[in-house]
Amino acid sequence: MREMYAKRVQGVEGAQSEMSLIPLGVYSHYKGNQYEVIGFAKHSETLEDMVVYKALYGERGTWVRPLSMWDNPIETGGKIVKRFEYADKAEQKSYRICEIDNALREKVQPILDETWGSPLLAVNGKLWDSKAMPGFVAVSVTSNIENYEVLGYLLYEFHDGVCEIMVLESVAQNIGIATSLMEQVKKIAKLGGVCKVIVQTSNDNTHAFRFYQRRGFTIREIRLGALDTARQLKPSIPLVGEDDIPLRDEIEFEIGV
Ligand SMILES: CC(C)(COP(=O)(O)OP(=O)(O)OC[C@H]1O[C@@H](n2cnc3c(N)ncnc32)[C@H](O)[C@@H]1OP(=O)(O)O)[C@@H](O)C(=O)NCCC(=O)NCCS
């Protein structure tokens, strides 16, 4: 599976959109140490695609390496092995978490538009356009790379000294997808130099209250009547939500990272 990803990546010159098809996560170096791939970048002079990764030992330094050289074969002890072999526990799961790119966004956007009524998200008194937001996508692990499915997504924004989860949805629930997406955004928040991840939800979403609090979030603010204001910005927000509960208030949660 991963070889297929790599081949596809190598075949696309300078295409940022293809890069994140190499899964984020833990890799074993052929000499035994472990590293975590935490993101992707472009070389500012050559535009070459680079992998950004962190040592999971010693001083835990952060490194970059050309994507094209990521898992090129190495001869050791008379055997040909990969320089880096995917070792993340996610390998055992039915999904992988990838950084969103153009191809994934094309698959995510129709799901998002249907669930939230449009690409515009009304959050904390403002309309936010989801179409260019950074984020992560859970994709199914299939034997055919072309047929993968989106199983969940999380989009975020850095603003006002926090990292805010702007939208989170799991298409395949109760298999750990939202938890994995959450772990990924917490890492990004830390790397981005903020100390809090925040997220807001509506007063009817008792499942989300449970989900966030079970993962260590605490209530940061309750904005009474916020959905009446949000409805003026986005009239498609319904009057009634889950379990026939009138949609009125926003509850904001936070967690330290
Ligand atoms: C809230 C929401 C994002 C949770 O997503 P999810 O992918 O089902 O969440 P997870 O699978 O990570 O966790 C849900 C439960 O499944 C459990 N679980 C995880 N992996 C599991 C597995 N392999 N087998 C059985 N249960 C598992 C988790 O432990 C968790 O239960 P807990 O809270 O009692 O610990 C999802 O319900 C959703 O998309 N709701 C609609 C949109 C929404 O409300 N978004 C959030 C507000 S903006």
Residue-wise pLDDT tens digits, 79-88:
888 888 887 5
Distance 212 CA to ligand 1 centre (A): 9
Q: What is the structure's pLDDT at 17?
A: 40
Q: CA 116, CA 207: separation in Å to the nearest integer?
A: 17
Distance 31 CA to ligand 1 centre (A): 37
Q: What is the structure's pLDDT at 21?
A: 56
Reported as half-sphere exposure (CB side, CA atoms, 13 A), residue 71 has a value of: 20
Strand order in the sheet with 25-29: 62-66, 49-55, 34-42, 25-29, 84-86
CATH number of this structure's domain 2-92:
2.30.30.320
Ligand 1 neighbourhood includes 92 CB (under 6 angstroms): no
Q: What is the structure's pLDDT at 58?
A: 75
CATH number of this structure's domain 95-256:
3.40.630.30
Q: What is the structure's pLDDT at 23?
A: 76
Q: What is the structure's pLDDT at 2?
A: 32
Ligand 1 neighbourhood includes 208 CB (under 6 angstroms): yes
Q: Residue 195 is which amino acid?
A: C
Q: What is the structure's pLDDT at 12?
A: 30
Q: What is the structure's pLDDT at 11?
A: 30
User: What residues does each domain of the chain span?
Assistant: 2-92, 95-256
Ligand 1 neighbourhood includes 173 CB (under 6 angstroms): yes
Number of Cβ within a 10 Å radius of residue 143: 7
Low-confidence ranges of the chain (pLDDT < 70): 1-21, 88-93, 142-146
Among 108, 116, 157, 175, say which to mutate for ligand 1: greatest number of ligand atoms within 8 Å of CB: 175
43 SS3 class: coil
Q: CA 66, CA 51: separation in Å to the nearest integer?
A: 6
In this structure, which residue's CA is closest to atom 5 in ligand 1?
Answer: 178
Number of Cβ within a 10 Å radius of residue 110: 10
Record the pTM: 0.72
